[in-house]
Copies of this chain bind each other. A is one copy, B any other.
Amino acid sequence: MKETDLFSSAAPMTDAAVPLGFAFAAARAGIKASGNPDFAWAVARRPAAAAALFTSNRVAAAPILVGRRHLERSRGAIRAVVVNAGNANCATGEPGLHAAQRVCAEAARILGCDAHAVIPSSTGIIGAPLPYEKLLAALPSLQDGLGSTGGHFDRMAEAIMTTDTRRKTAAASVETPRGAIRVAGMVKGAGMIFPQLTPAAGSPPHATMLGYIFTDAAIDPAGASRLLERACSTTFNRISIDGDTSTNDTLMLLASGASGVAIEADPGPEAAPLTEAFCAALRQVCLSLAKRMVADGEGAQRLVELDIRGAANDEEALRVARAIAHSPLVKTAWAGSDPNWGRLLAAAGYSGARLDPGRVSIRIGEEEICSMGMVSPRLNPEAARRVMLRQEYVVQIDLGLGEGRTQLWTCDLTEEYVRINAAYST
């Protein structure tokens, strides 16, 4: 995957890359004011093993509450995910729960399965009643549209977009002695993006990212859950666009088993290489999708990888990364391609992580701009500025204290971001 690809639509999904056992469709339900497709579903031909991570926001949207329950009741055997864009069905009370349930029930009726085998997702405005009748009315056209080509996959990825400017998909495959396993995912999200996804219950929340990863490997639901959590912890849970954790964030992994190749989450020595290869493919898809979201962040012009090292421990490295990723002064300096390392140092200083300013060094790309807490004698401001004109670069901060390390991907804060979000009306 070339880095520049992150700033353009993913190449069309090829038919061969689509995991076996699934079909996809999109429709226009009339929720988006633009009239663009705004309703989609992914259907597993037979019950797929499903795992889900949901927002940790204490204000969880109706589809999150319904989805958690359905996942539990179905014991992770899922036939469909049904997604609408344009309305988050959040802060909608009992009527919102009813709306999500009605859509699941009608989808289940069409598929001839239990309502618990359908997981709902919504994204869009918070607090407006979900016009679920429009979704019910559009379900037959979702049924008619089902297909398993790359084009079907891409159309679903487009229908779930809100302020995204392009669809975001990624795919990988694993060759095994028993044949290929396919992994393919789609994601939406450009604002309210600081996913803190947790298994089922949860503690604090995020902005809306919706992500669906499909594979034709055979995995049991508990194993799928463990592998998804592991992949998420260093990808989706390590990005931030604006630091706002949404009420609707959802990440799902659905495993159809249609490839006939089984993956064990806790393999013995013999199966370990296969599990590792699968995990690598899963993480690659998750990381590509996560970085695509940041690159398509509202108003974003730069994708910045924070590489924090030398912290007392990993948790403190993460505190530094979060403080920097959420500092308006740092993010506006990036928008101005300004190697203002004082703002980086100040944010590290207030992060709560242990820090000795005299040990800190900072690099932007290959340029050292700060060493031992002072301006680097090797600072070349023009060279640093040139790095910062790239679409993607690394800011590396070494605290010089210990072995703690983390990576986090974030973006700049531009006037365009403010325009988009000051104009977006309730």
Contact = CB atoms under 8 A, between A and B. Distances in A.
B426 A341 contact: yes
Contact of A357 (B56, B91, B422): B91
A220 interface: no
Nearest to A129: B375
A372 B93 contact: yes
A97 to B, nearest CB: 11
A418 to B, nearest CB: 5
**Chain A contact residues: helix, strand, loop or mixed:** loop
B205 A329 contact: no
Given A328-B244, A413-B328, A335 B204 contact: no
B350 A57 contact: yes
A338 interface: yes
A358 interface: yes
Contact of A422 (B247, B332, B422): B332
A90 interface: yes
A127 B58 contact: no
Which range holds the interface residue count of chain A? 35 or more
Given A91-B342, A204-B351, A342-B91, A336 B421 contact: yes
A192 B326 CA distance: 13
A357 B417 contact: no
Number of copies: 2
Interface string A366-382: 00001011110000010
Given A127-B374, A338-B424, A339-B426, A58 B244 contact: no
A246 interface: yes
A421 B328 contact: yes
Nearest to A372: B93
Interface in A302-331: 326-329
A340 B421 CA distance: 10
Contacts of A350: 56-59, 196, 204-206, 244-245
Interface in A388-426: 413-415, 417-419, 421-426
A59 B60 CA distance: 37
A333 B424 CA distance: 8
A358 to B, nearest CB: 7
A192 B127 contact: no
A374 B328 CA distance: 31
A206 B351 CA distance: 10
Given A91-B345, A375-B128, A328 B245 contact: no
Interface in A112-169: 125-128
B91 A355 contact: no
A333 B422 contact: yes
Contacts of A415: 415, 418-419, 422
B333 A421 contact: yes
A91 B370 contact: yes
Interface in A186-214: 191-192, 196, 203-207
A343 B419 CA distance: 16
A122 to B, nearest CB: 13
A92 interface: yes
A353 B58 CA distance: 9
Most buried by B among A338, A339, A349, A423: A349
Given A93-B373, A340-B426, 9 more contacts: A58-B357, A90-B346, A196-B350, A243-B326, A244-B343, A328-B328, A328-B421, A332-B418, A415-B422
9 contacts: A90-B342, A91-B342, A91-B375, A127-B375, A204-B352, A242-B328, A326-B326, A333-B422, A333-B426
